[in-house]
Structure 1
Amino acid sequence: MEYILRPIYQERASLPETLGVIIVKKVDNIENITDTFDCVLLIIVKEAEVPVFTKHYLHENQKMVMHVITEEILNKWLFIGTKKQVVDWIFNGKIMFDRNEYLVNLRTKLHEEPYYGRKIKTGIQFSKLIRRVMEGKDLFNRGNFLDAYSNVTESLHHLARLSVLDKGLYPEVTVWSQVKKIQPEIYKLYEELLFSKESLEKKLELLFLAIEFMINARTHDGAQHLLETMLEKDLWTIQELHTHKELRFYSGDLEVLIEYLIDKAYIIVKPIDSKNQTIQHRSYTVDKKLVELEYDL
């Protein structure tokens, strides 16, 4: 199959923006890491007008896919976990081209630094957890128990991923198999959600209490990336936070996390005068004394 794809990736490899090329083949009796394709051709570039460019190919009875992605998208997939297979692709794929050992160095970093990207990945999962709980409690209080149930399920999934990240591991597709071994108390909550004989209302009430307790216990780790990033300068607008090279990975969950940390006194709101005398801009700063003390900076 490599000889079929060779002209395609060689053409890409000749371009100066191409950083690396990997081929991943489907393996029988192994969970689907190639998205049902017989072969995945992954090409990583420094920059591109289209951040993710995909093409499908057919050779006889075999189907192949090519993904051309930017370095930023690769980091997003690694940090956020939106495409879990990419970790396996980087680890186990066959390197066909590697400019300045970009892929070799990335593999080394992923192997030797199990906590690589842990702070940002933890922060992103924590912000998603905060949003799910907030929305779930609102639905619960309005009597929409089935919708609240969905939010509790998602909340437990984020807690599960946080527990895996805490051990320096990568959350797998079968994350509950991991969690059952490394943090059985979270697995127990999931079992309560599925199998408890309590009424749905009572079950949700108890689970919200348990999840909120775990959120409080995880605030230190969950907020670390955002707070340390905000120490880069004294004052931030929300737009500056959204467009920061790493904080933009939080997407729409960033503002929920900021409001949560305002309630916890880690972040302080600073009103700034605007051209309109009747309204002020809302800017943000961290409580440096609290943060430096909390994180021993």
Structure 2
Amino acid sequence: MEGILRPIYQERASHPNTLGVLTIEKNQHSIPTTDTFDTVLLIIVNEAEQPLFVKHYTYEGKKAALHIITEKKLREWILLGSNRRIFDWLYNGKVVFDRNEFLAQLKEEMKEFPFYGRKIKMGLEFAKLIRRYMDGKAFFENQHYLDAYNHVIHSLHHLARLSVIENGFHPEVTVWNQVKQIEPEIYKLYVELVNSDETMEKRLELLFLASEFLIYSRTKAGITHLIEVLEEREFWAFNDMITHEELVEYSVDLGILLEYLIDRGFINVKNVETKGQGVFHRYYFVAKKLS
């Protein structure tokens, strides 16, 4: 492979804009992180017209994928967890070019997992967890058990990822293997939901009871980043939150997260009169500090 594809990445490596190049080989006995391609070439650049450029090749009856990604986009993936394959690529890929030890330093940074980045990732996972949990509960109460089951499975996955992050690790593709070692209680809950002989209704009922405590026990860790940002102002309009640079990634789930935190006493609401009689602007503020 390397001899055939080398000219492709060598041309890129010679460019001063290129920070690092890795090759990732398909492994028949591991999780398919290459999307069925035999080889993935990952090229990280300082800047580009588009943050991600992908090109596919065929060679000797095999397939290769070239991914050219900017450092900014790569760090976004790492922070938001929006492409979990990237962790496998960076950890297990073969480094064939590394300008000024960029990749070596990046791997070390990922290994250390700075607490600031951890807080943001926990916040985003917690928001998704609450969204799925609350939607699942609503479906359950309306006796839509299969829809409730789908949302609960996703909520447990977010709970698992949150647990992994809280323990200082990046959630990988095999997140349940990580959770089995780190938080066996969550793993057991997941297995019981999937494998139980109880009726779907009974399984969900028991899970909602058990997961209520697990979610609440992680609330403070999950909302630390959000609360720290909200403490910067006395009051917030909702639109000011979803357009804030540090909160924009919460936007889809922020509304339901706020309602959850209002119910739990972490956030309060301030009503301000409008020109319409009996209609008020709704503002939000931190009700109590986490420490």
> Into which bin does the TM-score normalised by the smaller protein fall?
0.7 to 0.9
Partner of 1:186: 186
Aligned pair count reads 290
Partner of 1:112: 112
Q: d(CA) in 2 for partners of 1:15 and 1:246? A: 33
Partner of 1:171: 171
**1:257-268 → structure 2 map (5 Å cutoff):** 257-268=257-268
Question: Letter of the aligned partner of 1:51 in structure 2?
Answer: P
Q: d(CA) in 2 for partners of 1:156 and 1:80? A: 18
Mean Cα deviation higher: 256-265 or 232-241: 232-241
Q: d(CA) in 2 for partners of 1:101 and 1:198? A: 55
Q: d(CA) in 2 for partners of 1:5 and 1:272? A: 64
Question: Letter of the aligned partner of 2:206 in structure 1?
Answer: L
CA contact (8 A) 2:24 2:40 kept: yes
Q: Note if 1:84 corresponds to 2:84.
A: yes
Q: CA deviation at 1:12?
A: 4.2
Q: d(CA) in 2 for partners of 1:38 and 1:245? A: 39
Is the partner of 2:126 in helix, strand or coil?
Answer: helix
**1:1-297 → structure 2 map (5 Å cutoff):** 1-13=1-13, 18-113=18-113, 117-271=117-271, 281-287=281-287, 290-291=288-289, 294-295=290-291
Mean Cα deviation higher: 172-181 or 35-44: 172-181
Is the partner of 2:170 in helix, strand or coil?
Answer: coil
CA contact (8 A) 2:26 2:37 kept: yes
* Cα-to-partner distance string for 1:193-240 (whole Å, 9 max, x where unaligned): 123333322221121121112111110111112112333444444344
Aligned-residue CA RMSD in angstroms? 2.8
CA contact (8 A) 2:87 2:172 kept: no
Question: Letter of the aligned partner of 1:216 in structure 2?
Answer: Y
Going from structure 1 to structure 2, the CA distance change for 1:256 and 1:45 (only over 3 Å counts) comes to farther
Mean Cα deviation higher: 154-163 or 71-80: 71-80
Is the partner of 1:117 in helix, strand or coil?
Answer: helix
Q: CA deviation at 1:33?
A: 2.7
Question: Letter of the aligned partner of 2:257 in structure 1?
Answer: L
Q: d(CA) in 1 for partners of 2:192 and 2:9? A: 50
Q: CA deviation at 1:67?
A: 1.6
Is the partner of 2:218 in helix, strand or coil?
Answer: helix
Q: CA deviation at 1:25?
A: 2.6
Q: d(CA) in 1 for partners of 2:232 and 2:9? A: 40
Q: CA deviation at 1:144?
A: 0.7
Q: d(CA) in 2 for partners of 1:39 and 1:26? A: 6
Unaligned runs of 5+ in 1: none
Mean Cα deviation higher: 31-40 or 21-30: 21-30
Q: d(CA) in 2 for partners of 1:13 and 1:192? A: 50
Mean Cα deviation higher: 216-225 or 83-92: 83-92
Q: d(CA) in 2 for partners of 1:250 and 1:7? A: 42
Q: d(CA) in 2 for partners of 1:112 and 1:137? A: 37
Question: Letter of the aligned partner of 1:129 in structure 2?
Answer: L
Question: Letter of the aligned partner of 2:223 in structure 1?
Answer: A
Going from structure 1 to structure 2, the CA distance change for 1:158 and 1:132 (only over 3 Å counts) comes to same
